Amino acid sequence: MRLGVLDVGSNTVHLLVVDAHEGGHPDPVRSHKTQLRLAELLQPDGSLGPEGTAVLVHAARQARSAAEDEGVEDLVAFATSAVREAKDSAAVLQAVREQAGVDLRVLPGEDEARLTFLAVRRWFGWSAGRLLCLDIGGGSLELAAGMDEEPEAAVSVPLGAGRLTRDRLRGDPPRKKDVEAVRAYARSQVQAVAAQLLAGGRPDRAVVTSKTFRSLARLDGAAPYDQGPRVPRRLRRSGLAKQVEKLQGMTAAGRAGLPGVSPSRATQLLAGAVVAHTALEVLDLEEVSVCPWALREGVILRRLDWLSRS
């Protein structure tokens, strides 16, 4: 059947359309992406307000139309940290449902971690052994660990690249003291959950996913993504340390000129690099594998599992 998953994140509204069947590999058909930077539309009181809601309704309406044009039979729509944390979240969801015809559900951070873990497990298989997964988004960092398809530990901490850039980095390029403050904050947040993640033992394979990690891996020498998703890609902690040093001296425009870095992500790439390096340092990981599957694929796989049982 043809499935669609609509991901309303802090930066983008992304519709992924796949052809899938029970026991099969979800085959991507189309990808429709709209840059919204929804988190930047939050009002001083923490609400999205009429303007932010209207922007999201319009994007959801466009996504629903695209899904219909693609022949999507089943559309699953979810929202992550930007909508989850908005003071008027319930009103926003109601407006999207009534005005755009999209049943948008808020996904808790821990569920983001669990579903991303499922996608990574299915991609690497049982031979990967104990997995530890990290995923940097715009608003949060998700981490999960375990031996099975359901992780033993799944946590979400407020270390999103966009959030830290907006709240804690000033100037272009930002001041060194602000970068160090972000590093210290990230260290405290990851240290607080490290014991929980490592309680079952050291991972046999540590894995990262998301656009931020993929961009950082490309800067560390990983193969370009036009070579396909099955090319093995890795990211080294030593390479991350060099990238942090390089990126903090560059303007956003300068970062946008680097290989694998899109203009829309260039502003927040430094914060993402600091979080990535700090997390690997706290968790004592020298190198991580890069997985092309992430949250959206996890949602699709879970939906297929549910459909097969119904």
Segment 44-62 shows an average pLDDT of 95
> Is the per-residue pLDDT at 224 higher than 80?
yes
Residues in the chain: 310
Omega of the bond prior to 158 within 30 degrees of 0, cis?
A: no
- pLDDT score for 221: 95
Q: Where are the domains of the chain?
A: 2-107, 110-295
Q: How far is 149 from 114, CA to CA, in rounded Å?
A: 9
**Helix, strand, coil percentages for the chain (3-state, nearest 5):** 50, 20, 30
Q: Is residue 310 scored above 80 in pLDDT?
A: no
Q: Which CATH superfamily is domain 110-295 in?
A: Exopolyphosphatase. Domain 2 (3.30.420.150)
Q: How many CB atoms lie within 10 A of CB 27?
A: 11
CATH topology of domain 2-107: Nucleotidyltransferase; domain 5 (3.30.420)
- The reply to whether domains 2-107 and 110-295 share a CATH topology is yes
Cβ contacts of 20 within 8 Å, gap of 6 or more: 1, 2, 3, 26, 27, 300, 304
Summarised one tens digit per residue, pLDDT across range 249-302 is 999 999 999 998 988 889 999 999 999 999 999 999 999 999 999 999 999 999
Mean pLDDT of the chain: 95
Mean pLDDT of 79-107: 95
- pLDDT given for residue 266 in this prediction: 94
Contacts of 75 (CB under 8 A, 6+ apart): 3, 4, 5, 6, 64, 67, 102
- Work out whether the CA dihedral 154, 213, 38, 167 comes out positive or negative: positive
Does the structure show a pLDDT above 80 at 177?
A: yes
Are residues 297 and 209 in contact, defined by beta-carbon separation less than 8 angstroms?
no
Distance CA 79, CA 67 (A): 17
Query: To the nearest 10°, the Cα dihedral for 237, 240, 244, 245?
Result: 80
The yes-or-no verdict on residue 55 having pLDDT over 80 is yes
How many Cα atoms are found within 13 Å in the side-chain-facing hemisphere of 299?
Answer: 25
In this prediction, residue 90 carries a pLDDT of: 96
Question: What integer pLDDT is reported at residue 37 of this predicted model?
Answer: 85
pLDDT score, position 262:
86
Q: Could you tell me the pTM of the whole model? A: 0.95
